[in-house]
Structure 1
Amino acid sequence: MRLIRLKEVMRLTGLGRSTVYKVMKEGSFPSSVALGGKAVAWVESEVQEWILARLRERDGQASL
């Protein structure tokens, strides 16, 4: 398992900082993991699965 910081999440998804937190709050994006202090990260595989789900949604497929 690999944890990635916000900058990498933004690079992978193409989303901006505020959008990442907005969709996370709405429950449609993986939750962050507290690392201590104000530092947070995301599980890379969960972010990748979120991206794949968007592709499946776009293509109208149940699975890729």
Structure 2
Amino acid sequence: MKVLRLDAVVLTTGLARSTIYKLIGSGEFPRPVPLTGRCVGWIECEVNAWIRSRIAERDCV
């Protein structure tokens, strides 16, 4: 299991950091895991699953 920091999530998804936090707030993106103090990370497989779900949604249209 790999933990991604925000910069890696931005690069992986192509989304801006503000968009990522907006999607988290609306429950549409995986929530970060607290690591230490103000440091958070995202589980790579959860981010990849979110990307796959977006692809599946696109393909269903």
Aligned residue pairs total 61
Mark the runs of 5 or more structure 2 residues left unpaired by the alignment. Answer: none
- The alignment-based identity, stated in percent, is 48
Amino acid at match of 2:59: D
**Which segments of structure 1 move beyond 3 Å, counting only runs of 4 or more?**
none
Shift of residue 19, structure 1, vs aligned partner: 0.4
Counterparts of 1:6-21 in structure 2 under 5 Å? 6-21=6-21
SS in 1 for 2:40: strand
What is the deviation of 1:36? 1.0
In 2, Cα distance between the equivalents of 1:7 and 1:34? 16
| Structure (1 or 2) with the greater helix fraction | 2
- Residue 10 of structure 1 aligns with an amino acid whose one-letter code is V
2:40 corresponds to which residue?
40
Report the CA distance between 1:49 and its aligned residue.
Answer: 0.2
How far apart are 1:37 and its partner, in Å? 1.2
1:21-45 deviations in whole A, cap 9, x for unaligned?
Answer: 0001100100000011110000000
